[in-house]
């Protein structure tokens, strides 16, 4: 999960005749894609349990929930217009669909990583000990962002280490070799690696709380033209959240679907700040801290060339939050909108 690419995908525009008035036709059929991660397993349960269908039926629409084994591919398919909504981290939402010119809205902020992402060393007890080491990670990923923030926290920078690009599929095996002394990755890989000899966690996402955010991103134009989609998705999400919070059987189902068991899934939940209640997600999105976080994300993305070849600065893409816009107000491509979650909080869905 949580890897991003710099490819720019341009959507085709349709030209209407000069005398033809634009007509908005509400859609009936929608597609949502997701990939395996503790904070996104609710979509699998929602699909299998019939909760998503229940809410889609309430608003007289159809919602197809599709699992992707490749996180990057799911985001690319969304950016290409094949899906109306997709699960992704805030960093990736900026650097893939937004940077690709697709105006996108974070409809649901489901959680933030609170230890799920980590830097692990074989030798050393502090992130300072990473100096001079090779760090194996998925380059230009949230793990890369975490490493950069960790180094910054102790007065170091990426110049003090060497990043070695490694597929997430290979990281666990790589850590067992003598040549690999340090990794940065996410759960469930973190849990596997920490069970190995000499594995020391020296920095994790709990050190930067609220910065690695997991969302459901929806195409802004589609959402504006089809508010029923927003209501159905948010309504389904919080019904799933209520069951997930109260029922161990639901959490066990999610664990098994993600390749672990109840204990393993709950261990991942322990390092995830889930927003089980809509009011808590609304409060998080409405906080001025979100705008500051997205500035950090934009600056990291710009420094690594992820905002496009011609990007003049970190603010080239406007990011709208309830506290204001960071970046170009005339080029807003990523929006955090708490209005649908607020409806759920107030029982208005």
Q: Does the pLDDT of residue 16 top 80, yes or no?
A: no
Q: Does the pLDDT of residue 70 top 90, yes or no?
A: no
Q: What is the dihedral of CA 49, 52, 55, 61, to 10 degrees?
A: -130
DSSP assigned state of 17: P
Q: Does the pLDDT of residue 311 top 90, yes or no?
A: yes
For 176, other C-beta atoms within 10 Å of its C-beta total 10
DSSP assigned state of 158: G
Contacts with 152 (C-beta within 8 Å, 6 or more apart), sequence order:
none
SS3 assignment, position 13 = coil
- Alpha-helical regions (H) of 227-287: 227-246, 248-257, 262-270, 278-286
What pLDDT, on a 0 to 100 scale, did the predictor assign at position 252?
A: 98
The per-residue pLDDT for range 117-137, each reduced to its tens digit, is 999 999 899 999 999 999 999
117-207 matches 29-112+212-345 in CATH topology: yes
The beta-strand segments (E) located in 5-103 are 29-35, 62-68, 85-89
Q: How confident is the model at residue 25 (pLDDT cuts 50, 70, 90)?
A: low
The beta-strand segments (E) located in the chain are 29-35, 62-68, 85-89, 104-113, 117-121, 134-137, 162-165, 182-186, 200-204, 213-219, 272-274, 318-321, 324-326, 332-336
Q: Does the pLDDT of residue 247 top 50, yes or no?
A: yes
Q: What's the mean per-residue pLDDT of the chain?
A: 92
Q: Does the pLDDT of residue 11 top 80, yes or no?
A: no
Instruction: For domain 117-207, give its CATH number from 3.40.30.10, 3.40.190.10, 3.40.50.300, 3.20.20.70.
Output: 3.40.190.10
The reply to whether CATH 3.40.190.10 applies to domain 29-112+212-345 is: yes
SS3 assignment, position 3 = strand
Q: What is the sign, positive or negative, of the torsion defined by CA atoms of 195, 196, 202, 207?
A: negative
What pLDDT, on a 0 to 100 scale, did the predictor assign at position 19?
A: 43
The per-residue pLDDT for range 185-195, each reduced to its tens digit, is 988 889 899 99
What pLDDT, on a 0 to 100 scale, did the predictor assign at position 26?
A: 79
Rounded mean pLDDT of 60-69?
96
Report how far residue 290's alpha carbon sits from residue 338's, in angstroms, rounded to the nearest whole number: 12
Rounded mean pLDDT of 236-252?
98
Q: How confident is the model at residue 140 (pLDDT cuts 50, 70, 90)?
A: confident
Provide the greatest CA pair distance for the chain.
Answer: 72
Q: Does the pLDDT of residue 90 top 50, yes or no?
A: yes
For 340, other C-beta atoms within 10 Å of its C-beta total 26
Rounded mean pLDDT of 214-238?
98
The per-residue pLDDT for range 42-60, each reduced to its tens digit, is 999 999 999 999 999 999 9
Contacts with 155 (C-beta within 8 Å, 6 or more apart), sequence order:
none
Of 214, 284, 295, residue with least CA distance to 37: 214
Buried b (16+ CB within 10 A) or exposed e, 226-242: bebbbbbbbbbbbbbbe
Q: Work out the percent of the chain whose per-residue pLDDT is above 90.
A: 84
Domain layout of the chain by residue ranges: 29-112+212-345, 117-207
Strands 117-121 and 162-165: unpaired
Q: Work out the percent of the chain whose per-residue pLDDT is above 70.
A: 93
∠ Cα 120 125 126 (to 5°): 80
- HSE-up of residue 122 (Cα within 13 Å, Cβ side): 16
């Amino acid at each position: 999960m949580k890897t991003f690419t710099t490819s720019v995908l341009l959507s085709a525009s349709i030209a209407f005749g000069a005398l033809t008035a634009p007509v908005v036709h509400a859609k009936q059929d929608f597609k949502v894609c997701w990939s395996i991660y503790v904070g996104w397993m609710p979509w699998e349960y929602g699909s299998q349990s019939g909760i998503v269908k229940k809410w889609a039926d309430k608003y007289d629409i159809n919602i197809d929930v599709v699992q992707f084994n490749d996180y990057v591919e799911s985001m690319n398919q969304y950016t290409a217009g094949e899906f109306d909504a997709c699960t992704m981290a805030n960093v990736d939402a900026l650097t893939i669909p937004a940077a690709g010119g697709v105006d996108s809205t974070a409809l649901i902020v489901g959680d933030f990583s609170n230890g799920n992402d980590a830097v692990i060393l074989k030798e050393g007890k502090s992130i300072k000990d990473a100096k001079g080491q090779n760090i194996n990670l998925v380059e230009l990923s949230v793990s890369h962002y975490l490493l950069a923030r960790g180094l910054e926290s102790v007065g170091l920078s990426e110049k003090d280490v060497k990043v070695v690009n490694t597929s997430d599929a290979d990281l666990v095996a790589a850590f067992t070799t003598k040549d690999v002394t340090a990794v940065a990755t996410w759960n469930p890989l973190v849990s596997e690696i920490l069970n190995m000899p000499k594995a020391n966690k020296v920095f994790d996402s709990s050190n930067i709380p609220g910065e690695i955010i997991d969302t459901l991103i929806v195409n802004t134009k589609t959402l504006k033209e089809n508010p029923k989609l927003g209501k159905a998705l948010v309504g389904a999400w919080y019904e799933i959240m209520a069951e997930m919070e109260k029922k161990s059987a639901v959490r066990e189902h999610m664990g098994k679907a993600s390749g672990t068991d109840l204990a393993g899934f709950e261990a991942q939940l322990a390092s995830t700040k889930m927003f089980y209640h809509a009011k808590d997600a609304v409060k998080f999105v409405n906080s001025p801290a979100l705008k500051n976080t997205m500035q950090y994300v934009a600056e990291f993305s710009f420094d690594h060339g992820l905002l496009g070849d011609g990007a003049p600065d970190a603010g080239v893409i406007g990011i709208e939050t309830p506290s204001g816009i960071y970046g170009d107000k005339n080029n807003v491509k990523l929006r955090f909108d708490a209005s649908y979650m607020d409806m759920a909080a107030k029982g208005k869905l």
